[in-house]
A and B are shown apart, each in its own frame.
Chain A
Amino acid sequence: MSKVKTAILGSGNIGTDLIFKLMRSDVLELTTVIGIDSKSDGLRRAKEMGLVAIDNGIKGFLERPELADIVMDATSAKAHVRHAKLLKEAGKQVLDLTPAARGPFVCPSVNLSDHLDAPNINMITCGGQATIPIVHAVNRVAPVEYAEIVATISSRSAGPGTRENIDEFTLTTANAIEQIGGAKRGKAIIILNPAEPPIMMRDTVYAEVAEGTMDEDKVAASIQEMVREVQSYVSGYRMRTEPIFDGNRVTVFLEVEGAGDYLPKYSGNLDIMTAAAVKVAEEFAKNQLAQREGVKQ
C-alpha cells in the first residue's frame, strides 16, 4: 500500500509520542520532525531513526515542502496561528493539536467524515476527545439537553501550557460538547490530582436527555458501541463501570490508560490526543490516496 508523507511539527513530549505512533502506521510515512531545539529529545530520536530532523522550525520545512503532505502541529496555540497560515499557503493538510483552533473541531468517532478535505482541523482537548463520543452516543438515541464532563488528570501530565491557560480547556471543551457532541448546553470541569503514583486519566460524563425520551437499553447499547469504536484507535479507553441511569439522566465513568509509547501510561490524557490525531491523519491519507487514484484514472 502506498503511503502519504507526514511531518511532525514540534519536538516536545507530544511530538515525540507521535513519532512512535506514526512509525507503526500503514498509510502514513513519517519523514520529518520539525523543532527549534536541536538538542531536544524528539529531534535527537528523529535523527537516530534516520528521519529528517529540522531544527530551525517552520522556516526550515518550507524550504523543503516536498518532505510531507500532512503536517501534525504539536507546538503551541500562539505558534500554530502562524504555522496555520504558512502551511495553508504551502498547500499542506494540517492537524492542530494545540488549542489555537483555526479549523473545525474533529473527534474521529463523531465527525471525521465531514472534514476529510479540510485544510486545517483542530483536535479539541484531551477531555473532549474522551467524552464527546459518549455525549454523541447518547444524543443519537435521545436528544441531550445538557451534558457535563469532568476530566481528572494527574498533575504530572498537565503541562505548563494547560496550567497557565486552564480556562481555554473548560471553554473549548464545553463548546465542542455542544457543537460536536450535540448537547443543547455543555459544561466542562477539569481537576488536577497530584497523588503519587500518578492516577490514570478519568472522565465522567453526565447527560440529561429531553423528558420522556430516555430508553435505557438503547442508550446503553449506543454507548457500548461507541466505546468499542473509540477503542479501535485508543486501546486504553474503557468504561470503569456500566452506565448509571437515574430518570432522564445517565452517568458514564471512563478511564484512559496511555499506550506507554513515549509518555508514561498514566498520561492517558496526552495519549488520547496523539492516538486520535493519528487516526485523523490516517483517514486524511486514505482520502488523499483515493483522490490521487481518481486523478490517474
Chain B
Amino acid sequence: MNTKRDLYITEVALRDGSHAVAHQFTVEQVRNVARALDEANVPFIEVSHGDGLGGSSMQFGRSLFDEFELIEAAVDVCQQAKIAVLLLPGIGTQRELKKASELGAKMARIATHVTEADVSPQHIHLAKELGMETVGFLMMSHMATVEKLVAQAKLMESYGADTVYMVDSAGALLPHEVKERIHALRESLDVHVGFHGHNNLSLAMANTLAAIEEGATRIDGSIRCLGAGAGNTQTEVLVSVLDRMNIETGIDVFKMMDVAEDIVAPILQQAQEITRDSLVMGYAGVYSSFLLHAKRASDKFGVDARDILIELGRLKVVGGQEDMIVDVATDLVKKQKQAVIR
C-alpha cells in the first residue's frame, strides 16, 4: 500500500499501556488490537513490556505473557504496519533486541534518561546492523535544559539514530516549553524529530500540536489514552484533529474511532482519566509509570500516594527507580511515627 503521510504516528498502547494494565496484556488482546490498528493503516505499532524489552521483573512488574509471544502475535497479524520495540539500556540488552528482530520487529526505540544518551551507542549500532528503523528516545526531557537536550540528541544522531524523540515522560512540559525544545532540535539535527507526550496536565494534545508546528514529524499516541499515568496523546483524537488541519497521517479516522470504542475500551479496567495522582505526577515532574506502584505502596504502608509522588519529584528520581517508591513510603512512615511521638 502506498500511503501519503505528512507525519508518521507510532501507536504505543501495546507498550506504554502495559503500565496501565500492570503488564497483564494477553496474546489475544495484542492480536486483536494490532490487527485492527493495521487495518486502520497505522504505520508503526509498539509492543513490549512497559519498561521495554527485558522489563518483566519484580522492580517493574512481571508480564502475564512473555513479551516475545506478544511481539510475535502482533507481527503475525499485521499486513502493512511495522512492529516497534522499546529498549532501555541497563534494563534490556542486545540479546533481547536481536530476538525481537528475529521475530519480525522492524523498529527499535532506544531510550535513555535525557542526560544519559551515551549508554545507547551499542544498542543503536546493533539496531542499524539488524536493518531496523532506529529511534533515540530521550526520556524525562523536562529535567534538562534545552542546550543539554540538544547535545544529547546530537549524540544519538552521531550513533546512527534515524530519528530522535523528545519524550515528556512525566507529562510535565507546557506547550511553550515543547515549542522551544522541538525548535532547537530541528535547528541542530539532520535526522527526524519526534515527540511523545503524557496527558497528566491535560496538555498532551496541545503539546503534540506545538511539536508538529515546530517540525516534529514522528509522533506517538495511545489509543483511548491507554498509556502510563493519564495516558498519552489520544491517537484517535489526534488523527481526527490532524485530518481537520489537513495534515495527512494516512490513518483511517473512522476506523480508528471504532478500534478505540469497540476493541480497546473493553480492555481498560477503568476509563483513563486525569486522577489526582496522575495530575500530581505532571505537576511534580514524576515518571508516569510510577502511578500504580505508588498506589500499591500507599495501600501497603498507609501513606498518601500524593505525598510519595511529591517526595519522588523533590528527590529528582528518574525512570526505572521504582524501588525508590517503597523506600520513600517507608521513610514517610518513619517520619509520621516520629511526628506522633513528638
- Cβ-defined contact, B116 with A189, below 8 A: no
- Cβ-defined contact, A148 with B57, below 8 A: yes
- Cβ-defined contact, A148 with B59, below 8 A: yes
A192 CA to B209 CA, complexed, in Å: 32
Contact partner of B57 (CB less than 8 A), chosen from A152, A187, A194, is A187
Segment among A9-17, A26-34, A166-174 that sits at the interface with chain B: A166-174
Given A191-B318, A195-B315: A167 in contact with B323 (beta carbons within 8 A): no
B91 within 8 A of A: yes
**Which positions 123-162 of chain B face chain A at CB distance < 8 Å?**
143
Contact partner of B318 (CB less than 8 A), chosen from A187, A194, A244, A249, is A194
Interface residues on chain B, number (Cβ under 8 Å):
29
Q: Which of B94, B118, B119 has the most CB of A within 10 A?
A: B119
- Cβ-defined contact, B116 with A155, below 8 A: yes
Interface residues on chain A, number (Cβ under 8 Å):
31
Contact partner of A206 (CB less than 8 A), chosen from B58, B95, B143, B330, is B58
B93 within 8 A of A: yes
**Which positions 126-184 of chain A face chain B at CB distance < 8 Å?**
148, 150, 152, 155, 160, 163-167, 169-171
Residue-wise interface mask of B (83-95) relative to A, using a CB-CB cutoff of 8 A (1 in contact, 0 not)? 0000001110111
Contact partner of B122 (CB less than 8 A), chosen from A148, A152, A167, A251, is A167
B326 within 8 A of A: yes
B240 within 8 A of A: no
A241 within 8 A of B: yes
A141 CA to B175 CA, complexed, in Å: 55
A208 within 8 A of B: yes
- Cβ-defined contact, A240 with B327, below 8 A: yes
A263 within 8 A of B: no
**Which positions 108-124 of chain B face chain A at CB distance < 8 Å?**
113, 115-116, 118-119, 121-122
A125 within 8 A of B: no
Could you tell me which A residues sit within 8 Å of B by CB distance?
148, 150, 152, 155, 160, 163-167, 169-171, 187, 189-195, 202, 204, 206, 208, 240-241, 244, 249, 251, 253
**Which positions 293-342 of chain B face chain A at CB distance < 8 Å?**
315-318, 320-321, 323-324, 326-327, 330-331
- Cβ-defined contact, A208 with B327, below 8 A: no
For the complex, would chain B's binding face be called helix, strand, loop or mixed by DSSP majority? mixed
Q: Shortest Cβ distance from A209 into chain B, in angstroms?
A: 13
- Cβ-defined contact, A167 with B115, below 8 A: no
- Cβ-defined contact, B90 with A192, below 8 A: yes
Given A148-B57, A160-B118: A193 in contact with B326 (beta carbons within 8 A): no
Task: Considering the complex, give the chain A residue whose CB is closest to the CB of B121.
Answer: A164
Please, which residues of chain A bring their CB within 8 A of the CB of B93? 167, 170-171
Q: List 10 A-B contacts (CB under 8 A).
A: A152-B321, A167-B94, A187-B57, A190-B90, A192-B318, A193-B316, A193-B317, A202-B324, A240-B327, A241-B331
Given contacts A193-B317, A194-B115, 14 further A-B contacts (CB under 8 A): A155-B116, A160-B118, A163-B119, A166-B90, A166-B122, A169-B90, A192-B116, A192-B318, A193-B318, A194-B143, A194-B318, A206-B59, A244-B326, A244-B330
- Cβ-defined contact, B118 with A241, below 8 A: no
